[in-house]
Amino acid sequence: MKEATTPRGAALVFGGSRGIGAAAVQRLAADGYAVAFTYVSRPDSAQALVAQITQAGGQAHAIAADSADAQAIRNAVAQAVERFGALQVVVVNAGIYKAGPIDTVPLADLDQMLAINVRGVFLAVQASVPHVLDGGRIITIGSNVALRTGQAGSSVYQLTKTAVAGLVKGAALDLAPRGITVNNIQPGPIETDLTADWTAALAQRSPLQRVGKPQEIGALVSYLAREESGYMTGASLTIDGGFTL
């Protein structure tokens, strides 16, 4: 991570301790934001990320919060604002994936994915909006499966990520009078600890013969957080190496 610049405002990343979320936290901190982020497990990873950013001259704060818990989401926003002030950028990354054919998906798995991937995203945006500055940025992390999955067993996950793509359109209209943009990033397979066992197989299916890196998603988050992206809202940007072509 490059050395942090002069702080330009506060950012909050839901689901920021590992993978794509951690890359977003690192990039926003490098861009000069004071970054609060939530995590639901692995406090060691969360604190290591805080230490890394602090040592580089940035500001970061980790908050334990389950994105399936509405009160925890509201508390996380309150803690972030108390620590760093009104929010300039909000990134909603928290999500889970559980596979299974539609005729055998347990009700518990359906409810959990809807609770975190859809309800949790909605609640995170709703709780953040009163604390987002006019002209601020809200960025969700969806998935390219909203366009095409190409494999059986992903019906519920595809449902949830398609819902996120729809949510940003309505939210963008709601928040346009305040100059707040709402956009959705739809990554394809990304190299994280959760996909380590499948990386080689996924790379073979890619037109580019590789999977993405978390830092590439972090770079897109950085762009959407900038003033230069201010004419884009309600959009879903697919970054998947051509998987959905």
Q: What is the CATH number of the domain that holds 33?
A: 3.40.50.720
Residues with catalytic roles? 157
Structural domain tally of the chain?
A: 1
Alpha-carbon distances of 235 from 71, 75, 147, 168, 195, rounded to whole Å: 29, 28, 13, 7, 26
Give the pLDDT score at 1. Answer: 44
Residue 59 domain flag: yes
Band (pLDDT 50/70/90 cuts) for residue 7 is: low
Residue 118 domain flag: yes
Give the pLDDT score at 5. Answer: 43
Residues 191-199, mean pLDDT to the nearest whole number: 77
Give the pLDDT score at 202. Answer: 85
Residue 23 domain flag: yes
Rounded to two decimals, the pTM is: 0.94
Residue 38 domain flag: yes
CA angle 183/187/193 to nearest 5° reads 130
Residue 3 domain flag: no
Band (pLDDT 50/70/90 cuts) for residue 4 is: very low
Q: How far apart are CA 91 and CA 132, in angstroms?
A: 12
103 backbone dihedrals φ, ψ, rounded to 5°: -85, -5
pLDDT at 159 over 60: yes
In tens, the pLDDT along 8-56 reads 799 999 999 999 999 999 999 999 999 999 999 889 999 999 999 999 9
Neighbours of 228 (CB within 10 A): 9
Residue 245 domain flag: no
Q: In what order do the strands lie in the sheet with 132-141?
A: 59-64, 33-39, 9-14, 87-92, 132-141, 181-187, 236-239
Residue 115 domain flag: yes
Residue 242 domain flag: no
Give the pLDDT score at 198. Answer: 77
Domain extent, residue 178, equals 9-236
